[in-house]
Amino acid sequence: MGWEGVPWAVANTAQHSAEIGRLLAHQAFNGNEGILGLDDLKVSAQAVPNGTVQVATGACGIRIKNAALPYQAYAGRCPTIDTPIAIAPTGGAIRSDMIIARVEDPNNAGEGWAPPGNLLIGPYIFTRVISGVSASAKTLADAGIPTHNAIPLARIDIPISTSTITNAMIVDLRKVANPRRERAVFTVNPGGTFNLTSASYVDWFGSWTVDVPLWATKAVILAHLSGIKLDRFDGSTTGSAAGNIRVLLGAALATQGAAYNHDVVAAMVSSRFHLGVGDTVSVGSSLRGTNQTVKIQGLRSSGNKNLYADTGSFASVDLEFIEAAA
């Protein structure tokens, strides 16, 4: 059969096919699918909860699952809040429903969708409810519709005898089509000796500043402290120290590890050891687009010695911001 006659883009009166347009959409989404912005197409209860939910404005990419149409995707937009989506009440049993955004294109062979009321303006894309899915359903396959040209938006877990939907029942299933990631790594080697003697949190190893991306909703934070010792400045050969290490992102606590208990036997008093802490934390809207301070902090809770760092010690903070549905 050979090449399609008109590639993108040929000037003058050349007519480009829908398949070529969808090829561009597929390439623009890098073969992925999902929402474009953090708050796009979020499903929520009504301001005054009732038997419907609403879908926020936004845009999305939806990959075509039909094997006969490879490298193709739809680009859809919802410029105004969608018409209230009715959720059927439950009776004597709990039920879970999945809310999806689905393209129903009658032009694709084998998909079986009816033509819309107006061939020029559709609609060809809808918010749909797939009722009675598993209480753990997250994907189209879980909902029994793996070949539909759709993306999951939310699952609603409805208690028995319930006709009013609240936000507490809604599980967000949205994914950003091409999430961004940005990493910052900070390191320090102390120029002197720094004892950790305080019973409350104090800055340890200094601080750094970081620009929080406007799109970040999560941060993965890892801190590593190597070459840490117990002080034995009094000449003793035994001792112990216990305490906590944490990392701050801005003024709010970002991550806190469990208590690190160091009970060092005599043969190890002069040895160096490693501490670490890590977590994945939410980045609130108040932090996005701002410059924030990153700090390692520690405290000494018990023991007869102190932790200390010196010119043989090393600390690092590995911080990665991630874009995900907000």
- The 3-class SS string of 167-223 reads HHHEEECCCECCCCEEEEEEEECCCCCEEECCCCCEEEEEEEEEECCCCCCEEEEEE
Handedness of CA 87, 92, 94, 98 (dihedral sign): negative
Whether omega for the bond prior to residue 9 falls within 30 degrees of 0, making it cis, is yes
Asked if residue 183 lies in contact with residue 294, where contact means CB atoms within 8 angstroms, the answer is no
Rounded average pLDDT per 10-residue block, the chain, 326 residues:
90 94 95 95 97 97 94 96 96 97 94 93 96 97 97 98 98 96 93 80 88 93 87 71 84 53 52 83 90 89 81 92 90
Domain ranges of the chain: 18-172, 181-322
- pLDDT score recorded for residue 278: 83
Q: Which amino acid is at 116?
A: P
CA 220/CA 72 separation, integer angstroms: 33
Identify any residues that bridge with 239 across adjacent strands, giving them in sequence order. Answer: 264
Q: What is the pTM (predicted TM-score) of this model?
A: 0.82
pLDDT at 41: 98
Q: What is the pLDDT of residue 258?
A: 46
Q: What is the pLDDT of residue 284?
A: 87
Measured distance CA(138)–CA(128) in Å, rounded: 15
Alpha-carbon distance values, 319 to 157, 220, 246, 314 (Å): 35, 6, 13, 17
CB 100 within 8 A of CB 155: no
Please report the pLDDT score of residue 205 as a whole number: 86
Question: What pLDDT is attached to residue 242?
Answer: 80
- Coil, helix or strand at residue 140: coil
Distance in angstroms (rounded) separating the CA atoms of residues 62 and 126:
12
Instruction: Name the DSSP letter for residue 274.
Output: E
Architecture of domain 181-322: Sandwich (2.60)
The pLDDT, as a whole number, for residue 250 is 81
Q: How crowded is residue 256: how many other Cβ atoms within 10 Å of its Cβ?
A: 15
